[in-house]
Amino acid sequence: MGEERVKEEALEIIGVLQALPRLVVFDLDYTLWPFYCECCSKREMPFLYPHAMGILNALKDKGIDVAIASRSPTPDIAKTFLDKLGMRTMFVAQEIFPSWTHKTEHFQRIHRRTGVPFKSMLFFDDEGRNTEAVSKMGVTSILVDNGINIEKLRLGLRKFARASVSFNRNQVE
């Protein structure tokens, strides 16, 4: 499926849901691209998973901000790769730094930078320990196994919408 077809399908999925996240956060390694930055050289030309750019463009077209939360030990390589892919300006927050903890610190920083409440965020990552830790903060989190794709986007947006309805129902009661 080409980038434009992925974008069209993502726009269709987004268009039918009542509740949408204000911010979608992505891990980098094995979520947006199929490698670890620390195993690469800045001289290499990076590439994304096939559905990644279409999904990012669809989110942007619908006015949904995107951010990065990456525990990379080589943030300089990650940022160089984002530049090479022409993506650096797509993200309202880029928290790319080494950490021995889960991604909770990344999300604290993203929240401070954007003002978006955790319950208004959707997160995609390839490590279960990260999705579990961030879920406890109130972020809807989705584990991806072979990078972001249209099926995981659909799953994430539906899970977010269900959580949003539950949260709003509980606020009223």
Which amino acid belongs to residue 167?
Answer: F
Q: What is the pLDDT of residues 43-69, one digit of tens each?
A: 999 999 999 999 999 999 999 999 999
Evaluate if residue 168 carries a pLDDT over 60: no
Whether 55 contacts 10, CB under 8 Å: yes
Topology of the domain covering 3-172: Rossmann fold (3.40.50)
Q: Choose the catalytic residue: 29, 65, 125, 126.
A: 29
Note the pLDDT of residue 164.
Answer: 87
Q: Choose the catalytic residue: 27, 65, 125, 126.
A: 27
Query: What are the residue ranges spanned by the domains of the chain?
Result: 3-172
Report how far residue 135's alpha carbon sits from residue 63's, in angstroms, rounded to the nearest whole number: 23
pTM: 0.94
Can you say whether residue 115 is alpha, beta or left, with left for phi > 0 and alpha for psi between -120 and 50 degrees?
Answer: left
Note the pLDDT of residue 108.
Answer: 96
Whether 66 contacts 56, CB under 8 Å: yes
User: Quick check: helix, strand or coil at residue 32?
Assistant: coil
Q: What is the pLDDT of residues 104-161, one digit of tens each?
A: 999 999 999 999 999 999 999 999 999 999 999 999 999 999 999 999 999 999 999 9
- Whether 27 sits among the annotated catalytic residues: the reply is yes
Report how far residue 61's alpha carbon sits from residue 11's, in angstroms, rounded to the nearest whole number: 8
- Whether 65 sits among the annotated catalytic residues: the reply is no
